[in-house]
Chain A
Amino acid sequence: MNKNIILCGVGGQGTVLASRLLATAAIGLGLPVLSAETIGMAQRGGSVISHIRIGDEARSPMIAQGTADLIIGFEPGEAVRQLDFLKTSGAVVVSSRPVMPVSALTGGAPYKPDAMLRYLEEYGCRLTVVDAVLAAKELGSDKTLNVVLLGAAAKSGELGFGEEDLERAVRERVPERYQELNLRALSWFT
């Protein structure tokens, strides 16, 4: 199996942990994994992206444009920003909840998240939209969006492995006191 996956969002949303969980799940299945992360200044609310390449075809962790099987977007505009990575028949799993750039509130250009979601619908990819506001309300936490999105990606069948593999990764990587919450988050999307 060879899969190229892009995770993208806004610094602080938990993309790095999500990427490690995906990698852990794949390694658990004996698959080779390479990844690359955004670490540094962009983590202060800037655009962040993780590249994950599963399988033995890859040498570099960086994904070329038009070759990603799946984009997991933590924010509608950020998913649109990275669409050039998606291959023709690719899939997108996206959170519907926008994160307003500070500049849009303080007199810069306005940000229209609905236009982003509409664009994704019309783009011609296999699209899964996750209602992050509802998820946060039902789970009682804003901090598990990353795991909710992974669960949705597993359900969509685009990961190449299932929820139970991710469950193992959560048990291995997430501190014990947060495991129960994260396991609920993993199976939240149906």
Chain B
Amino acid sequence: MHKEFLMGNEAIALGALSAGVNLVAGYPGTPSTEVLQTIAKRNPGNVYVEWSVNEKAGLEVAAGAAYAGARSLVTMKQVGLNVASDPLMSLEYIGVKGGMVVLVADDPGPISSQTEQDTRTFGMFSKVPVFDPVSVRDAYEMIQEAFDFSEKYGTPVILRATTRIDHGYEALEVKDPEEYRKHEIEGFVKDSSRWVIFPRLSVKNHALIEERNEKLKEILSGYPRNRVIEADQKDCRKGIASHGANFQYVRDVAESREARLLCIATPFPFPEGLALSFLEGLDEVLCVEELDPVIERALTYVCGKYGLHVKIRGKRTRELPLSGENTPDLVSRAIRDFLGLQPKSQEAGGASRPELLVRPPVLCAGCPHRASFYAVKTAMKGEKTIFCGDIGCYTLGNAKPLDMCDTCLCMGAGIGIAQGVYHMEGDTKCFAFVGDSTFFASALPETINAFYNQAELVLVVLDNSTTAMTGHQPHPGTGRTAMGQEVEKVSIEKLLRAIGLKVVETVDPLDFSRAVETVRRVAGSPGVKAVIFKSPCIAISRPSGSSQVDPEKCTGCKKCIRELGCPALILDGDGKKAKIDAASCTGCTLCEQLCPAGAIFGGRKNDTVQEADHE
């Protein structure tokens, strides 16, 4: 054992390695990404690791390994589970031989996601047991227990954490590599009555799953992480039930010792027996939960089932919000109200606070996506258009002044939406923007669909040679794998041509006039056609010279600032002329090409892609 200060996701990764995991697959997505990244970095050498093309592929690879008797882990964020839901729903009916953990990172808030879905509810729907850790340390130990549990009961298991655990840090004792469990792999044993999901097998296994989950309610009542903490006073009539990161918020409120506490570590199957003993003698219970009222519903159900007169309060009684992330303050207020204590007095600050600007995230200085959006915007000026966006850094193209993202739904959806709009209003020039990693993850069926069904649209692939938003993971277009192998790249252009697209043009977006001309030419062609804007992300290509403004020549028209919204373009001291922040400028030269006075010079772009620096 040794001590390390670890991010929750790193702790989960080391927990999986300690449990002898043999195969790990996943698709990047905040707040889950660092789990797989850490496994790749700390691989003792005998673990197969891959960044899969998407979550569905990752889950299937992990299932195959578990069929062979290996221990496998697949990692994703909550919306990634939607993509992987098809294999997971069926896999629960088939079961696994080796332990298999599905790590899903939920994002209350949401801070970096489209939805606030609660994976505890997904567990209930898919009938897959769910583990919900309260801290980084808990997560480290829990994933090891989850592997044992999965193997023992032959079911995949979801380990579900939230941002404050995934991206929380704690110093903890972890095993040395020599102490890692060695998991022997039996190999796949042919048995079509076990591994082939025909309706007859489904109906049999469905009944078995329901029976098993009923039994697990009792078994999990004895799982030590599901626990009751008695109140300081013996005659206590009030209880607080909580889970995950919120359980620690509850415990940080000193007054919560006046109530009996229930921690739910396995929201599904719900530990009914433990809940019964918790409810014994109580008049009312406050459920402190984030996202769905899972525990609140379960306790209400238990009261109904056993005829208990305990008032269950929480989200449905509006004592906690129905959506959004809970904070320690919000939890503290709800507990004080529940216990009938005075609210803590809020001291007012001094003078009235000056107005604070919201600071939305923006495309980085020198980001090639800015040039791509600006080229399409320039080329299509005056035309009736729709710009369908997608998930990635380039969603930030929606911000003013670019204003180049009219829709965004989920990974890969932009193409389908552009197609649907085209079929309803044929005079609109429909554009679908998609990043390189998203293209591989989820754009191929949509592109084939649009092509075959005779749509007219321009597919714009923003190829920056990496998965930028989540921290520069490789994808099939990069020629590098998670294990560091150099492999043959998959060509986006060849894929598009193989589908049948006649017009596919690749252009450097930082070559502004050529980029505009290319967009005009391509948009004028019939059917589904594509522009591939190819230029590396600034985080993987170091700049070789930043631009400067010649104050003599600058006329102060501010066109560069107004039209590009680049964070490196600022105003000089008296606010009259443009100035470039040398520290953030990458020398992309877009502003140089745009300046009507020719006052900007000196930028030089380095296109050599370097290995991403994860630290």
**Which of A's residues lie within 8 Å of B, judged by CB?**
10-12, 20, 23-24, 27, 32-47, 58-66, 77-78, 80-81, 83, 88, 100-109, 111-112, 115-116, 119, 122-124, 136, 142-143
Contact = CB atoms under 8 A, between A and B. Distances in A.
Nearest to A88: B347
A35 B168 contact: yes
Contacts of A39: 30-31, 167
B569 A105 contact: yes
A40 B361 CA distance: 10
Interface in B548-603: 561-562, 565-567, 569-571, 583
A45 B5 contact: no
Contact of A42 (B111, B245, B347, B570): B111
A44 B366 CA distance: 12
A83 B347 CA distance: 12
A66 B349 CA distance: 11
B364 interface: yes
Interface string B103-126: 000000001100000000000000
Nearest to B354: A115
A45 B357 contact: no
B169 A43 contact: no
A65 B329 CA distance: 6
A32 B170 CA distance: 8
A59 B248 contact: yes
Given A37-B167, A61-B168, A46 B562 contact: no
Contacts of B354: 80, 112, 115-116, 119
A45 B561 CA distance: 16
Contacts of B357: 77, 101, 103-104, 108-109, 111
A34 to B, nearest CB: 6
Contacts, number: 161
- Which of B111, B170, B360, B569 has most A Cβ within 10 Å? B360
A119 B351 contact: yes
Contacts of A34: 168-170
Contacts of A12: 364
A43 B171 CA distance: 24
A109 B200 CA distance: 65
B529 to A, nearest CB: 30
Given A58-B252, A80-B353, A111-B357, A45 B364 contact: yes
Given A45-B364, A47-B359, A23 B565 contact: no
Contacts of A61: 164, 168-170
A62 B364 contact: no
A67 to B, nearest CB: 9
Most chain B CB within 10 A, of A20, A33, A35, is at: A35
Nearest to A112: B354
Interface residues of B, number: 56
B570 A62 contact: no
A168 B299 CA distance: 51
Interface in B332-363: 332, 344, 346-347, 349-351, 353-363
Given A36-B167, A104-B357, 9 more contacts: A40-B30, A41-B112, A44-B364, A60-B245, A60-B249, A64-B252, A103-B400, A106-B401, A119-B351
A101 B359 contact: yes
A33 B169 contact: yes
Contact of B361 (A23, A42, A100): A42
Contacts of B401: 106-107
B327 interface: yes
5 contacts: A40-B31, A40-B469, A44-B361, A61-B169, A66-B347
A59 B357 CA distance: 33
Contacts of A80: 353-354, 356
A24 B169 CA distance: 11
Contacts of B393: 44
B361 A106 contact: no
Contact of A46 (B171, B245, B359, B566): B359
Nearest to A46: B361
Given A35-B169, A40-B112, A45 B567 contact: yes
Q: Which of A32, A42, A44, A112 has the most CB atoms of chain B within a 10 A radius of its CB?
A: A44
B252 A43 contact: no
A44 B362 contact: yes
B182 interface: no
Contacts of B347: 66, 88
B545 to A, nearest CB: 16
Nearest to A42: B361
Contacts of B346: 65-66
Greatest chain A CB density within 10 A among B30, B329, B396, B569 is at: B329
B349 A123 contact: yes
A163 B504 CA distance: 58
A46 B346 CA distance: 28
**Chain A CB within 10 Å — which of B167, B359, B400 has the most?**
B359
Contact of B164 (A27, A36, A136): A36
A106 B561 contact: yes
Contacts of B561: 105-106
B562 A106 contact: yes
A65 B396 CA distance: 31
B111 A45 contact: no
Nearest to A113: B354
Contacts of A107: 400-401, 562
B251 interface: yes
A58 B248 CA distance: 9
B328 interface: yes
Contacts of B111: 38, 40-42
A12 B31 CA distance: 18
B164 A46 contact: no
Q: Which 7 A-B pairs have the closest CB atoms?
A: A40-B112, A60-B248, A40-B30, A46-B361, A142-B583, A44-B361, A64-B328
A76 to B, nearest CB: 10
A102 B567 contact: yes
Nearest to A17: B615
A45 B170 contact: no
A34 B170 CA distance: 5
